[in-house]
Structure formats: structure tokens, C-alpha cells
Structure 1
């Protein structure tokens, strides 16, 4: 092999590969294809030079070039912070907004069920007696009783961790188990509504419903919204099993499952906020109006986030799913 002739013939390709490798973050689609082609070709050139004319200078140059090109072709994208920002500002709010009919309906029905159960418990002493012994009910509902001391029974940081873990399990269960036709999600929702209704009914029967609202509202608004969003998403996932629409059932479940997983991550952050409020604001010495005001502000901020950023993102076609470039290629299907 004449090394000088070989270099003269292929120098342009090597120069182009070096240029593309150095600005890999700004390449267009065709340029990425060109980068891959030139990388493979130059790797072949390196192999030929090593076997036929092992010139140390040329081997060193091509080895360095191939290594840099390999890094440009195979290295993971350095966009973790950009992806996280995109998720928080676009994908998550779009996914929540997109499922709004499901979780708003879930919220309305759940609140109605909790209200009916609470009214039934408050108006019927026989029902109260079936729930707990009179002494236990008095201990729960009296001033300074179990219902009030529950929120400061442990150090705030420990209580916050406990609350966040419990709420995360409830939300995750409501969401993930929705794939079983939504039946477990409905059970979790009813159980949650029943617990709220029974507590509220017992406090109302003791003439302390205002205390109940003062303790539940600060953290409950945001916490219940997160649970309703998770449950609504779970029910939507269950409906996808029944009616996948124009997509195949497998593809529909894959798409909705990816979106649900992303929503679970976003809702975990929402539950962190509600857990902090429950641990530090609810049992604090702030006046009732101040504690409720913090809860209302947190809820308003979340709803604004969803209905402003989410609506804007959904309007341009964002669904909350992963970017198409991050997904594996699929074979086309018919029907």
C-alpha cells in the first residue's frame, strides 16, 4: 500500500469526520447519518493501515479520530438536566391536562361519596356505635384528642417521611393497578373516600367539624388532587385495555403505560410538597385561616401549572410520552 496515495485519497473524509465529531450536539439528521457512515469507513481504513502499512503516525491519527467519532456516535446524550426541565415544564403538565376529564370526574364522585358517608355517620348514632366504642369516639373527637394529636405525634421530619411514603403507595397503587380494568383503583378510591367520610362524620357529630376542616384542608387539597390524578390515570389505563381505539392493544398499553410512569414520577414530587405541608404547616401554631391559606395557595399553584403549562403543551401535540427519538423503531401494522 502506498501510504501517501492512501492519505491523499481519504484525507477529505477524515477531515469531514473530525468536523462532525467535534460539533456532535448540533448535527442535523442527515449529518448524523453522514457521521455514522464516515465513522465506519474510517474504522475500516484504520484496520487496513494497521495490517498493510503500519505507519505509526497515521495509525495514531486514525486511532484518535476513530475513538472521538465512536464517542460521538455511541456516547449517551448529555442532556439530563434538559430532559428533566422538559419533563417538569412540558411533558408532566401536558399528561395531567390530557387526562383532566378522568381525574376531575374521579374527584367529583369521590368527594360526593365522602360527603354522603360523612352525613350518614353524623346523623346516625347507631352507625357511630358500629364504628367504634363510645369511649374511643370521644377520645378521637375531643379537644386535644387523637384526631388533633395525630399530626404532631412524631417529629415533623419523621412524620413527613411517613406521610409521603404512605401517600406515594396510595397514588402508585391507584395508578399502576388500573391496568386490571380499573377495579383495584375503584376499591382504593372508595376506601379513601370512606375514611374521610367517617372521620368527618364523627367530628361533625361531636360539633367539631370546623376543626376537621382546619386540619384536613391545608395538606388535603393538594394531597387528594394528586390521588385523584393518579386514580384517574389508572382508570384511563384500565379503559385502554377495554378500548384501545385505533391502536393495537399492545401499542396502546405501551404508550399509556409510559405516560403513566412519567406521571407517577411527577405526582411523587407533588406528594412531597403535600407531605411537607402536612408535617410542618398542619400542626403548626398558625391561625386556621393561615394554615388553610397555605393549602389553598399550593392547590392553586398546581392547578395553574396544569391548566396553563399543560394546556399550552397539549395544544402543540405534547402527550407526555417519551420523545420519538428515544423509542425503539416499530414495524408498521395494518388495521
Structure 2
């Protein structure tokens, strides 16, 4: 590439480079501007390759190299921790990731609730099945003291931490195994079986008021978090089966997986709230109606948060 050709090449693409530099300065971009940034970044990378191979002008190579690097940083995000990024995660990234997957986790929640209710009804109507599942002595002990005692046998702070890590780990398993589908379905089955059998045993002994009075305050938010994790995990698996038009399976799974990582991080906070409710509110001496109201408010606040911020984002 001669000097004249190089000048013509610069004159032809200088407007694009200036626009890319403007978009890469770190201000908040609209969706159209973000798409433009990616397109211009790809072109500039090609221009840099052309200049290096045909006319390695040091000044122009340095300019394009800086431009490509700054554009890449603007696209991928910087590595520095900032309050702005944290705030953006909670106001945009997490809620929109959950909102986009709402058909999956609401479907999982509905089917799991129906299955749990059926198991509860069956065990309550067939007391001998409770003996088959956990044994007669264990069932009697569960009703007399075991179920209620579970919420008071540990210090609230330690209990909350245990619940937080346990539920976060269960959600991580649902998300990570979602690409294989069957393991996530197995985890959901075990969860429904556990709640259904315990609830059925309590109902068969006419202690349904105690069961629902203790499980509802934290269960609404906790189970919803598990259903969100499972639904997003299954969505990753479905991306492998049906990637959609103009996408390879690898790209579809990668995109769904990145969304799953955002959901996993956000659910850590959701399960922290559910753990605090279960450790401090569920076993408290407050009247049942107040304990249930606290849990219901936390649950409705989460759903409203996802619906409002997710839809807006």
C-alpha cells in the first residue's frame, strides 16, 4: 500500500474510527449504540490487520491498536470493581435475565407445585404410605416435635448461614446440570417428594396448620428461587436442543449460560433473604398471620422487582 493509497484509506475510514472512539469512552449506550459499537469494533480490527500486513505505518498501527483495545474494553467491561457496575447488576442485568426466562421458571414452579400438592394429598389420604417413606416412628416423631424443632435446634445466625449455603448450592446444581436436563428434573423431583411427604404426614395427623404456618413464611421466596434456578438451567439445556435460527448450538448454549451466571449471582442474595426469614421469622413467637405476611411481602417484592425492572430493562 503506497503513501497515496494509505492516505486514501485513512480518509475513507477516519469517520468510522472517530465514531468508534466516541462510543468507546464509557458513557452509557443505548441498544442501537451498543450494536453499532460492536460492528465498528469488528471493522476496526479488520482495518488494523490490513494496515499491519500491507503498510505497517507505526503511527497508524498504534492509533488503531489503542482504538481496538479501548473498544474491546467497552464491549467486555473493565475488570475494576465499581459501585456503578454493582448497581447496574441489581437494577438491570439480574432482573432482565430472570424476566427473559419467565416462561421457564413459572412453568417449572407450576408443575412442581402441582406435583408437590398431589404427593401431599396422596400421603395424607394413605397413612400407610408415610410409613413406607419414613417409617411409623419417624412419622410420629416428626409430628410431635421434629418438624417444629428443626427451626429452633440451632442458633438463628448459624442456621441462616446453613440455609443460605444449602439453597445456593442446590440452585447452582440446578443451573449447572440444566444443560443435561435430566439431573435438574431429578433435583426437582426430590424437592417435591421431600415437601410432599412431610406435608402429607403432617396433614394425616391433622397438623396442617402447623406445617403451613411454618413453611409458608420462607417457603414462598425460597422455592421460587429454586424454581428460577431450575427453569434457567433447563433453558440452557433447551438452547442445545433447539438453538434457533442463525445460531450454532455452541453460541446458543454460551449465551444462555452467560444469562445463567447472572441469575446464579443474583439468587445468592435472594437465598440470603430467605435464610434470614427462615431462621428469624419462621420460629419467632409472632402470630402465624404476621409471619406469613412477612414472607408473602418478601415474595411479592421479589416478583415485583423482576417484573418492573426486568420489563423496563
Q: Give the TM-score, by structure 1 length.
A: 0.71
> Is 1:200 aligned with 2:202?
no
TM superposition outliers: structure 1 runs of 4+ over 6 Å: 26-30
Shift of residue 169, structure 1, vs aligned partner = 1.1
Instruction: Specify the alignment match of 2:34 in structure 1.
Output: none
Instruction: Specify the alignment match of 1:265 in structure 2.
Output: 265
2:237 and 2:253 in contact (8 A); partners too: no
> Is 1:184 aligned with 2:183?
yes
- Which of residues 95, 98, 104 in structure 2 aligns to 1:96? 98
> Is 1:158 aligned with 2:158?
yes
Shift of residue 134, structure 1, vs aligned partner = 2.2
Residues 28-43 of structure 1 mapped to structure 2, 5 A cutoff: 41=59
Instruction: Provide, for residues 260-303 of structure 1, a one-character-per-residue CA deviation record: whole Å limited to 9, x for no partner.
Output: 01110001110111011111111111110111010000001000
Instruction: Specify the alignment match of 1:228 in structure 2.
Output: 227
Structure 2 stretches of 5 or more lacking a match?
1-20, 30-36, 49-57, 63-68
Instruction: Give the aligned CA root-mean-square deviation in angstroms.
Output: 2.8
Instruction: Provide, for residues 92-137 of structure 1, a one-character-per-residue CA deviation record: whole Å limited to 9, x for no partner.
Output: 1111111111111100100000011111111112212212332221
CA distance in 2, matches of 1:103, 1:77: 31
Shift of residue 312, structure 1, vs aligned partner = 1.2
> Is 1:293 aligned with 2:287?
no
Q: Give the secondary structure class of the aligned counterpart of 1:151.
A: coil
CA distance in 1, matches of 2:114, 2:60: 69
Q: Provide closer, same or farther for how the CA distance between residues 81 and 209 of structure 1 changes in structure 2, counting only shifts above 3 A.
A: same
Instruction: Specify the alignment match of 2:123 in structure 1.
Output: 121
CA distance in 2, matches of 1:217, 1:89: 27
2:116 and 2:195 in contact (8 A); partners too: yes
Q: Give the secondary structure class of the aligned counterpart of 1:286.
A: coil
Instruction: Provide, for residues 295-331 of structure 1, a one-character-per-residue CA deviation record: whole Å limited to 9, x for no partner.
Output: 0000010000011111111xxxxxxxxxxxxxxxxxx
Q: Provide closer, same or farther for how the CA distance between residues 206 and 26 of structure 1 changes in structure 2, counting only shifts above 3 A.
A: closer
Q: Give the secondary structure class of the aligned counterpart of 2:151.
A: helix
Shift of residue 79, structure 1, vs aligned partner = 6.2
CA distance in 1, matches of 2:79, 2:132: 61
Instruction: Specify the alignment match of 1:281 in structure 2.
Output: 281
Structure 1 stretches of 5 or more lacking a match?
1-19, 45-69, 314-335
CA distance in 2, matches of 1:77, 1:168: 25
Whichever of the two has the greater Rg, that structure is: 1
CA distance in 2, matches of 1:169, 1:280: 21
